[in-house]
Amino acid sequence: MASLEPLLPGLVRDSKIETELHGQAFQHFFYESGQSVQERYILREERWVHERELGRGSYGTVYLERCAHGGSGTLRAVKELKKFVTLDQELGYLMELEAIVKFSNAKGASTVDLGRSHGG
């Protein structure tokens, strides 16, 4: 199957966060606005660890994760999407990505990681 990247809605593409896998932890790298001109952008790092599985669906698995570095033990739910989908699943997969980004951008929600390829 060809890459879905050209088909991704702008909202989804713009929500990508650089992520690396370190053992059982996922490390995110992103920039935040600083408090002054000298601190225009500040690199922030967070390391998240799976606590347990919360559920499974057609497109992936939802996990409870704990921030082990950079967020003082904060908890979040993360949906890890399957990397490969069949041609007849493409539209549903894109709609799932867009729904996740919209939900994650809602008041009180955290960031979205679209850079993971862990688990397939």
Model pLDDT for residues 23-32, shown as the tens digit of each residue: 888 898 877 7
DSSP symbols for 12-67: HHTT--EEEEETTEEEEEEEEE-SSSTTSEEEEEEEEEEEEEEEE-SSEEEEEEEE
CA distance 40 to 5: 30
pLDDT score recorded for residue 120: 42
Indicate the pLDDT class of residue 88, thresholds 50, 70 and 90: confident
Domain boundaries, the chain: 10-104
Over residues 45-70, mean pLDDT: 91
Gap between the Cα atoms of 105 and 111, Å rounded? 7
- What secondary structure letter does DSSP report for 93? H
Mean pLDDT of the chain: 77
Q: What is the DSSP letter of 106?
A: S
Q: Which residue has the tokens 């009180």?
A: 108
